[in-house]
Amino acid sequence: MDVVIVDTGCANLASVGFAFDRLGVSKTITQEPEIICAAPRVILPGVGAAPYAMQKLRERNLVDVLQNLTQPVMGICLGMQLLFENSEEGSLEGDVEGLGMIDGNVVDLDTGDLPSPHMGWNTLENLADDPLLAGITSGDHAYFVHSYAVPLSKYTLASSEHGSAFSAIIRKNNIYGCQFHPERSGKTGARILENFLKVSS
């Protein structure tokens, strides 16, 4: 087993799993805490809305499990947003509390005159030197689908822009995140997943 994909109850697990199949990687999809804790690397995928996603994580008793992981962890799309302290996505009922594994908040993406959600291919701009970005250059394309985003911060490895700039790839210690879908981002996404499999814990 090279990687565990967390069954969050709100993710396209098949497409994420297939991305690792294409890399020839042994993967396990599970919601079992014991398996997740023993994994060499963990993927936290997610699609949909933050309030529902956090509810599913609580129902599956995965919040504490995820918060205490010390191995490399990568959040994908909504999964990346859940790594942060709060999200504006539940603003009608108040901000949604996230996992708090990275300090910062998720905000409604200011798209200006551009369509929302931000959907489709967009370019990456590298802002830091990190092993996760090996072989990735500014101008490489990734596939996005989102309405909320993480502002640029000291944890931003690469940014993108759709009306305003936002964090496309982040890292804090052993915690990584991609706002885009690497499993749908062709060679760029495959290289990032390959790099994640090589990073040290």
Expressed as residue numbers, the domain containing 177 is 3-198
Taking alpha carbons only, the member of 65, 106, 109, 60 closest to residue 83 is 106
Q: Domain of 75: which CATH number?
A: 3.40.50.880
pLDDT for 95 equals 86
pLDDT for 175 equals 99
Give mean pLDDT in consecutive 10-residue pieces for the chain, a chain of 201 residues: 91 92 96 97 94 94 98 98 94 83 97 97 98 98 98 99 99 98 98 96 68
pTM recorded for the entire structure: 0.96
Active site residue 181: yes
Q: Among the options 59, 162, 181, 194, which is catalytic?
A: 181
pLDDT for 93 equals 66
Q: Among the options 89, 146, 162, 183, which is catalytic?
A: 183
Query: d(Cα 129, Cα 169) in Å, to the nearest integer?
Result: 12
Beta carbons within 8 Å of 6's beta carbon, 6+ residues apart = 30, 31, 36, 42, 43, 44, 45, 62, 66
Name the domain count of the chain. 1
Active site residue 178: no
pLDDT for 48 equals 87
Q: Among the options 10, 77, 146, 162, which is catalytic?
A: 77
Active site residue 125: no
pLDDT for 25 equals 94
pLDDT for 154 equals 98
Q: Is the backbone of residue 155 left (phi > 0), alpha (psi -120 to 50) or beta?
A: alpha
